[in-house]
Structure formats: structure tokens, C-alpha cells
Structure 1
Amino acid sequence: MHFDYIWFDMGYTLVYKKREALFGRILEKTGSRRSYEEIEKAFHVTDKRLMRDFPGLLARPSAEFMPLYIGLLCYTLQIHGDIVSILDAWFKEWKSKESEWFAYSHVFEVLDALLKKGYRLGIISNWDLSARSVLAKCGLEGYFDTIVISSEVGYAKPDRRIFISALQLAGVEPSNCLYIGDNYYDDVVGASSVGMKYLIINRFGRLGIEELPQLEVVSSIADVIPYLERTDREQPQHRNEYSAEG
């Protein structure tokens, strides 16, 4: 299946924070040391759990969700005791270098390749009013024809209205679109509700999404080009095997 327009989520699809290093330092100070790999996977699992059980919460200001987030993160890492002190330390150190957003490796390579192949690119993201400055600081803003941010339009994924707004702004049919994100419950449910196809990036295989055994995933944005080349070779009647309705 050929697509004309590729839409992207932002956080943990295109950009990320070095939060694992920050949390690791905090744990060392509290005597609850864990390996970087353990912390990385715990963040991943906590992200997926909150996306599934508390839709839209991660789009809210961090002060609203971070106590729950740190609690679940510590639970996943089997850290017990004074979790409040860990939370306080997190808020105090959050303005460090690790709190900046960075583009994933291969992002520029992939976006350049997509543009050379003639695709139009857009963003549909649940984000606060810092979204455009984050994209600019990461050197990404100029790649996208259409940028639709929840805090600007008043709708957040999976609300189909944010996807409809994006389609109208871009002047494109949903059947010609592929949406790429990292969150089934926001990205797949929302995109498929308006007729877009979808692709989910899940960095650790099926970790954190075990309840979705039929959902096709890739492990990195670097896998997007091979995925598109494969779908282009398939018959026009191909469709995603796993729908939002299950």
C-alpha cells in the first residue's frame, strides 16, 4: 500500500529525554542503585501502563502525573520505602541537562529519505505550548508541512477531532496517510478512528504491550523506510490486521 502523507507523534517517537541517567543518579544517592538497562525498561513499562490505564494523563502538566509516575516506576524497579524523597529529588534535579529534548539517532536520516521519496510529513502530538520550540531546538521543525498540537487546537489524542483537524489542514484523505507513534491507546485508536493506517514503535519488542499480541510494531524509527518499502510491494487491498476495535 502506498502512502502520500506520513504523520508522526513527537515524544518517544521523534524526540526523547535522558531521564534514565537522571533517575539513576537519584537512586544512587538514596542507596537504591539499579542498572541503566533496568531503569530504561522500567521507564518504558511505566509509560505503557500509564498510556493504557490513564489515557491522556501524560499530556497534562508533569506536576499532575509525576507523583503517580514515580510511584509506578519505583514499584516496577522493586524500590520500597521513602518514595516521597525520590520524588522530591526528581523535581529538584529535573531542570538539569537531562531534561532537554533530543532527536533520536536516525531521525534526520529517515526524514530526509522520506522527503526525497516524495512523502509529505506532518505531526499530530499531545503536547503543551512548548512543542514548536522543542522541534526548533532539535532542528526538526522545517521537515513538516503540517504541525497539529493538542494544546493549540483544544483536542488531545485519541480524540478523533485532532486527527480531523490535521487532515483538513493538510488537505489529504485519511486513506492516503500513515500515522507513526509509540502509544496504541492514543495513536492507533485515534488514527484508525478516522481511517488512517498506523505503525507503532516499541523499542523493546513486545515489552509493555503484551495485551496486544497481534499489533505490528517496529523497534526504531530506522525501521520506517523498510516498512514502507514492504507495504509498497503489497497488494492494494492490504489492510492492518489489528483494528482499534480489537
Structure 2
Amino acid sequence: MAARQGRTTHKSKSNRGLRLAATPFDSVSPMGTTPEFTPTTCYENWGILIVSNLVEAISFDAAGTLLFPKPSVGVIYQKVLAAHELVLDCHQLEQAFQASFKKVKKDPSIPEPEIRERAYWKTVVAESILRLTSLPNNFETVFAALWQEFAKGSRWRLNEGVFDLFDFLDSRGTPFVLLTNWDARVRSVLIDHGLQDRFSYLFISCEIGFEKPDRGIFDFAASSLSIKPRNILHVGDHYNQDVLGARNAGWMAAHFACANESATEDANTVSRLGELCDRFEFA
């Protein structure tokens, strides 16, 4: 992706409201540099020694970490399709979506991020339907309805313990941010859940011009926070995008895996957000 000036949302300690902040890309550390690493805290996790710096800021992935489809992608697809006279089984739709989501890639030849995101999701939806039946004649209308449906907070549930964790971080004065490959619809979801004022920044890939695991989005965030990468912790559910992406940028990383998922052996894995309070030392 072409680098461009991103839009972030900043929360100051004196004013909990939102304002736009601009951080020049010239201030981002050069690619390929390795931040100095000074371990201060050690933890034992599944037989592996976890070495951690003092956490001065923490970033969270959105979907799959803080937010989950409610009740499921398959059920949401089923209801929207049924409203447009296409009846399909929700379990089959869920399976079709998961397979398409893993297969479909974003088209780098589309320069405008917002257009690229919409084209990507249109392909995911089309592939999902085509795995079960032919595309309906009103597919454009169906896709537009699905696009808007997933912009509603009512279609997303919050991870258990989100507000408790945020209150804990606020009590410590630890800034926390959103760092996501989602598109701008995440803003309306956050507003619906009353989270729009909680984050110090919203780093949304389509607004910044870099996507995880590209180091550019992590460097941009570290520069905006004015905190050394080694003292920032990123939490996410995608091993390559979140864990390896953060580590390659010199950050600490925690892999969020639901209780029914297996822990990643070489990652600091948590199954509950509250575990972060016990696993890491916060400034």
C-alpha cells in the first residue's frame, strides 16, 4: 500500500473527548532498524520463559479480540439474504464464509483504501454465496445491505472484561489504542458500544495506508504515541498479523485465543483479557 497521512483519534488526559491528531511520517523510525531491548520482567507460560519490558502503552486488535459477530456471521448472512428472498442454511453460510475469508485477498491494484476494502468484502460475500448457490440477480442490493448490517454495534458483542480492563488501564494512566485492519465501519460500531471516547488513538489501516503485519502501521502508532516500541504491547487474535507483525516492529505481543483454541507455543497466549493484568507489568 502507498503510505499516506493517516487519521487517528486521540484522547488527552485533560479532555476525554475526541480530536484528530496528525503525526508526520518523517518522524517514524527507518524500516529495518531494531529497537534496543532491555528486559525488565519475566513470566513463565506453558513452559516457555516470557521476557517482557515495562508496558507503557497497549494496543488492541478489533474483530476477534475485542469484538465478535453477534450471534455469528452465518446467522447474520442468513437473515439479510432471507430478507432479499434468498434462503440458505446459517451453518452452511458460516462454513462458506470462513472458507472464503481465508481464500480471498485484497486487490493491491486498487489504490484507494476505502474502495479496496469494499471490493474485498464484496468478493468475500460473493464467494460465500457461490459455494452454496448461484448469485442472485439483486446481489448488489444484498451486498449493500450486508455492508451496512456489519456497521451496526448490535451485530457485534464485546469481549467479556473489556470495560474492566479499560478501567484498570485508565486507573494506571496507561494509554490504550485500537490497531486494526478493519475499515471505517469500526467507528460506528465503537460509538454504538460507547467506546468511542475510551481509546487514546484509533489506528485504522484503510485511513493510515498500512495494514498489519506491515511494520509501517506499528511504526506510525509508536510515533503517534511518542513511546518506544519496546514498551508497547499489542494484543490480537491473528498470529501472523498481530503477534509476528508487532514483534517485527520491536513491540511486545500477546496472542488472544479463545478458551477452546490451543495456545501458540512461541507466543504469550491469553484466553481472557483480564489475564493481561497478571501477565505483564504496567508502568
Same-fold call, TM > 0.5? yes
CA pair 134-192 structure 1, distance change in 2 beyond 3 A: same
> When the two structures are aligned, how many residues end up with a matched partner?
217
| Aligned equivalent of 1:22, options 53, 76, 89 | 76
| Aligned equivalent of 1:182, options 225, 237, 250 | 237
1:54 alignment partner AA: K
Q: Does 1:135 align with 2:190?
A: yes
- SS for the counterpart of 1:155 is coil
Per-residue CA shift, 1:184-219, capped at 9, x if unaligned? Answer: 332223211111121233447449x9xx77555444
What CA distance in whole angstroms lies between the structure 1 residues aligned with 2:107 and 2:246?
15
- Counterpart of 1:109? 164
What CA distance in whole angstroms lies between the structure 1 residues aligned with 2:129 and 2:191?
33
- Give runs of aligned pairs for residues 1-12 of structure 1, distance below 5 A: 1=52, 2-12=54-64
What CA distance in whole angstroms lies between the structure 2 residues aligned with 1:119 and 1:21?
37
CA pair 42-60 structure 1, distance change in 2 beyond 3 A: farther
CA pair 193-23 structure 1, distance change in 2 beyond 3 A: same
Q: CA deviation at 1:229?
A: 0.5
Q: Is the 8 A contact 2:60 2:236 kept in 1?
A: yes
Q: Any unmatched runs of 5+ in structure 1?
A: 233-246
Which is greater in Rg? 2
- SS for the counterpart of 1:141 is coil
What CA distance in whole angstroms lies between the structure 1 residues aligned with 2:260 and 2:200?
31
- Counterpart of 2:90? 34
- Give runs of aligned pairs for residues 75-224 of structure 1, distance below 5 A: 79-84=131-136, 87-88=139-140, 90-94=142-146, 99-101=151-153, 102=156, 104-106=158-160, 107-203=162-258, 205-206=260-261, 215=267, 217-219=269-271, 223-224=272-273
Return the structure number with greater helix share.
1
Q: Is the 8 A contact 1:56 1:157 kept in 2?
A: no
Give the TM-score normalised by structure 1: 0.67
What's the Cα RMSD here?
A: 3.7
- Counterpart of 1:241? none
- SS for the counterpart of 2:212 is coil
CA pair 115-56 structure 1, distance change in 2 beyond 3 A: farther
Q: CA deviation at 1:174?
A: 1.5
Q: CA deviation at 1:179?
A: 0.4
Q: CA deviation at 1:132?
A: 4.3
What CA distance in whole angstroms lies between the structure 2 residues aligned with 1:71 and 1:215?
35
What CA distance in whole angstroms lies between the structure 2 residues aligned with 1:6 and 1:105?
16
| Aligned equivalent of 1:68, options 123, 130, 136 | 123
Q: Is the 8 A contact 1:30 1:86 kept in 2?
A: no
Range moving further from structure 2, 95-104 or 175-184: 95-104
Identity value in percent: 24
Range moving further from structure 2, 123-132 or 184-193: 123-132
